[in-house]
Amino acid sequence: MTSWTTADIPPQNGRRAVITGATGRLGLETALALALPCACGTDRKH
């Protein structure tokens, strides 16, 4: 079995994505791999 890397991601030109959880772990790594801007918030009420 071969290892998967971000080089295996096909070109994403012309696509849009919404990634939840982009402040940490898998969501953050996904956003970084796809070179996407991150809009982060919190569900904490003040």
Q: Is the pLDDT of residue 46 over 60?
A: no
Kindly write down the DSSP assignment for every residue of 1-46, as one continuous string.
Answer: -PPP-GGGSPP-TT-----TTTTSHHHHHHHHHTT-----------
pLDDT in tens, 25-43: 887 888 888 877 767 776 6
Q: What is the pLDDT of residues 10-25, one digit of tens each?
A: 988 888 888 777 677 8
pTM for the whole structure: 0.56
Instruction: Give pLDDT, residue 31.
Output: 80
Which pLDDT does position 26 carry in this prediction? 82
Question: Whole-angstrom Cα distance, residue 15 to residue 36?
Answer: 11
